[in-house]
Structure 1
Amino acid sequence: MAPRTLSGVCDSFLTAVNQPIQLAAAAELVRLAAPVGSAGRRAFTFGKLESIYELAYLRIFALWEKLLEESFYRLLCGYTSGGNAIGFQPTYTRAATLAAAEQMVLNGRAYLLWHNPNVVIARSQKFLVSAPHELVLSSAVNQITRLADVRHHIAHASAGTMQKFHATTMGLAGARFGPRAGRFLRAYTVHPVSGVQTRWLTVLADELLSLANQIR
C-alpha cells in the first residue's frame, strides 16, 4: 500500500481559500455593475465592502488553522510529507486513528489554538522530529505572526490589536489604513510574485497558500 500523504488536506485548503476571495471579488463586481444612484450601488457602500473583505479574511485564516490541525493529526498517524516519513520523539508512537491522534495532542483539554506559529512549532517538536510544521513555520514566523495580527484585529478590534495591526500594515505597505482592517485588505499593491496590481486580501491569502504547499 502506498504511503498516505498530506496532499488531500492541502488541496482542500487551496480550493476552499478561493471561495472567500471570490466572494469579495463578486461584491466588487456587483457595485460596479449597479448604476450610480441606484439602490444596488447604495447597498454596497465602501464600508460594507470593507466588512466583506474582513469576513473573507477571517474565513481564510480559519481555514489555515484548520489545515495546520488536520495535517498535524495525520502526521501523527504516519502520513508522509514531501514523500518523507516523519519520525516520532522517543516517548510517542504512531496513532491508530485521527481521533486517537487528536486525543493524544489534546491530552484532556477541550481544544487547542493553532494561530500562533511559535506554539505550533513547539507542539510539533514535542511529538515529531523535523516535521513540516516545525520547519515551514520556523522559516516564516514573522510573516505568519503579521497575518495573525490582522485576523486578531478583525475579531477583537481592541486598542492592543489595533496597535499590532498598524505595525503590520506599516511593515507590509508602509502606511496606516485607519481602524478598519477591511480598508487595508481592499487596497491594491503589487503582487510580490506576479508583479500584477492585486488587492492585499489576495496577497496575504497567497502567502498562506505558499506555506500550505510547503507542508504537503
Structure 2
Amino acid sequence: MDAWISTLDQSLKTLAGIAPMSRPAPQAAAPDEALDEQQRRLSASLMRVNHVGEVCAQALYRAQALRTRDEQLREHLQHAAQEEIDHLAWCADRLRALNDRPSLLNPLWYGGAFAIGTVAGLVGDKVSLGFVIETERQVEAHLASHLERLPDGDHSSRAIVARMKEEEARHAEEARDRGGIELPAPVRGLMRMAAKVMTRTAHHL
C-alpha cells in the first residue's frame, strides 16, 4: 500500500509539473543567441517532445518498480526514475523559458506508458529490463536527432539534450548489465511505431 501511495504521489506531481529536481540543469558553455519566432517554435516543439518522453519514462519506471519482487532492482529503477525526474524538470523549465507549454496529452502518454510498464513487470524482470533497454535506445536516437535539428544559437536546450542523451545511454547499459534481454523484433517495431505517433503528436499538442 505504501508503494502504491508513493507511486500515486509521484504520478500526480509528474502530471502537475511540480516534481522537484535534485540537480540543476546543465549550463551551456555560451550564452543563448536571439532566436527568431520560427527558431523559438522549433526549439519549443522539440523540448515538448523531450518532456513527453520523460513523462513516459516516469510512468514506465514507476510501474516496473511496483511489479518487481527484487528489492535491488526496485531500488535501481527508483534511482533511474529520480534521474528522469531531473530530465523532466529541466525540459519543463526550458519550455517556460521559451514561452511555451508541455503537451496537452500528458495524462494519455503517462497512462499508456504505465500500462506497458505494468505488463512488462508482470512478465518478468528480464523482459521488464528489456523494455528499458529498447526504450532508452529509442530515446537516445531521438535526442541525437534533436541535437541536429535544434537551432545552433539555442545553447541552453542543446546542453540539456546532450546531458539527457548521455544518461539515457547509461540507463540502457545498466539495464543490460542487470540481465535485460533483447525484445523480439515485432515488439521493437511496435514500440517504434507508438513512439512515432507520440512524437509527431506532441510536436504540436
TM-score (norm 1): 0.30
Q: Taking CA–CA contacts closer than 8 Å with sequence separation of 6 or more, which of the two structures ends up with the larger relative contact order? A: 2
Q: TM-score, normalised by structure 2?
A: 0.31
Query: Which structure has the bigger radius of gyration?
Result: 1
Greater fraction of residues in strand: 1
